[in-house]
Amino acid sequence: MLFNSYSYLLFLPVVFAIYWLIGRKIQWQNLFVVVASYFFYACWDWRFLSLIALTTLSSYSAGLIMERQDMGRSARTTVNVLNITLNVGILCVFKYLDFFTDSFGRLLALFGMHADFPTLQIILPVGISFYTFQAIGYTIDVYRRQVTPCRDLVAFSAFISFFPQLVAGPIERANHLLPQFLQSRHFCYNEAVDGCRQMLWGFFKKIVVADNCAVTVNMVWSDYETYHSPMLIMTAILFSVQIYCDFSGYSDIAIGTAKLFGIRLCDNFRTPYFAYSISDFWRRWHMSLLTWFRDYIYIPLGGSRQGKRKTLRNVFVVFLVSGLWHGANFTYIVWGLYHALLFVPSILKKQSQKTRQHGSVPSVVFTFVLVTIGWVIFRAPSISDALGYFSAVLGSSWTLMGLSGYKALALAAVCMVLEYVQRSRRHVLDFSNGSLMRYAGFRWLIYYAILFSLNALSAHQESFIYFQF
């Protein structure tokens, strides 16, 4: 069930009404959240519900076992490692087994050995990377005694499977989301209205901006060899906007939906294309994943406390894992390593945090160009296609874009300008303390304009990009 579908527009009001009609009985609300979330996920493929249930039960049990007073550190470590191994093993089988099998066969072929390894053609369960990381983060926090193990299985199941952020995040931390399922929740009209506004802006970014960008991006990438450099450059820019509006649009819808149920999810984006350095970009892009890597991989490896050489190693490890996390393709690995290389100059110079607090327009533009180059690698079906795309960009002929391309650029410009103007607020339609926005008529004019654009400017419906991860 896609957020940008009519079925979701029917599903959400029904779930919202039943949830609050239940009253303030936490146990019943949590149980209904679990049922609704499992139904939501089953609309993709009910067979993979068993994976969510297994991840939930294994992480829940591991937390309770590690809480036992008579358990020594080595035993707790064993339980934690076994749970991580189980969950990562499930992730690897469904997401990477065929990729590594095929890659190993190609490697042997380079040495003249021909091996025909069978591939299982396993379907990738939607959202498996997101809820797996969320579950692993919980058990690590319990192991570190940073979080008290949850004894309420229903509440813990709601924490793992909460439908707004189940399939594409944000990746929530146990100390933030889990306590919200253990305490009574009250309907707040102002919070619900703000959630609807954030959802509306998320729908605008996805349906109007991202899907219109996708029309040109998909057209050019399907036959990029026939296009010349100006068109290819514009297409690269459009994909940068597409992937941002697609993913941050999902996050806005997820965060806004959660507010309707009295739940606060963490922010996931903070105007990343106005970053003035690569490190600043990663502090603004997919923040829930970055903090996960920071706390569970980068810092345990030593972070930046053990000299430049080990800092470089740790950065490369994090971005290598980040690339693999995004998918079973060498393009994602190269994309991760590309961003790791972009960190090298700042690490070698030991640029201070104070120095990085201010940027200029050229630094913002330069950072955007570097990020856009990376998105070309990310979007390419293969490494050879990425190289072919860059080679074609070096051409000098001129090709005009079609009408759809200009429309996408105009919509992208409007979206980015509004995001910049409202950068200090929680989202673009956050009208708190606004001068003109205190007038209801002016606010409703904006609402109607967005609703009109959703109908008049929508393109072919596209699935959310990050559902495949």
Q: Do 128 and 326 contact (CB within 8 A), yes or no?
A: no
Burial class (CB in 10 A: 0-12, 13-18, 19+), 397: exposed
Q: Do 414 and 446 contact (CB within 8 A), yes or no?
A: no
- Residue 67 tokens, joined: 């809480």
Q: How far, in Å, CA of 215 to CA of 238, rounded? A: 10
CA angle 413, 415, 421 (to 5 degrees): 100
Q: How far, in Å, CA of 221 to CA of 227, rounded? A: 9
Q: How far, in Å, CA of 2 to CA of 161, rounded? A: 16
**Tokens 């991006």 belong to residue:** 217
Q: How far, in Å, CA of 30 to CA of 256, rounded? A: 19
Helix 330-349 to helix 308-326 angle (10° resolution) is 160
Q: Is 228 a catalytic residue?
A: no
Q: Do 218 and 283 contact (CB within 8 A), yes or no?
A: no
Q: Look at residue 340 and give its three-state secondary structure.
A: helix
> Looking at 176, 286, 326, 460, which residue is catalytic?
326
Pick the closest to residue 383 from 319, 322, 332 (CA basis): 332
For residue 231, CA distances in Å to 216, 227, 234, 368, 370 come to: 10, 6, 5, 18, 18
DSSP code for 433: T
81 CA to centre of own chain: 26
Pick the closest to residue 187 from 352, 23, 376, 395 (CA basis): 23
The one-letter amino acid at 433: N
CA angle 105, 109, 114 (to 5 degrees): 75
Pick the closest to residue 182 from 262, 248, 256 (CA basis): 262
Length of the chain: 469
Beta strands in 96-230, from DSSP E residues, in sequence order: none
The residues annotated as belonging to the active site are 326
